[in-house]
Amino acid sequence: MAATQIQTHGLNPLQVSLLRLFNRPMKDEEVLTLKRILVKHYSSQLKNELEQVVEEKGYTQEDFDKMLNEDS
């Protein structure tokens, strides 16, 4: 397989597109910037999901304190 070809087994179309987009030399600073963007994005999604679950379940700070202090 040539170096410019991308094997797509198990990848969705977005992943393949991103691989093609970033199939070029990049400085370490660029890589770090992209990683930070992705972490910020997924962190935000996780926070939103957590807030939704907390609201749906009706958890209070007292509930979280109790969970943290219970024996596992």
- pLDDT for 5 equals 59
The CA-to-CA distance between both ends of the chain, in Å, stands at 51
Other Cβ atoms closer than 10 A to 54? 13
Domain boundaries, the chain: 26-69
What's the pLDDT at 29? 97
Those residues whose C-beta lies under 8 Å from the C-beta of residue 24, and which sit 6 or more positions away, are: none
* Model pTM score: 0.65
Mind listing the pLDDT tens digit of every residue in the chain (72 residues)? 445 555 657 899 999 999 999 999 999 999 999 999 999 999 999 999 999 999 999 999 999 999 999 886
Pick from 2, 11, 6, 1: which is nearest to 23 by CA? 6
- Extract the tokens encoding 5: 């070809």
pLDDT at 9: 75
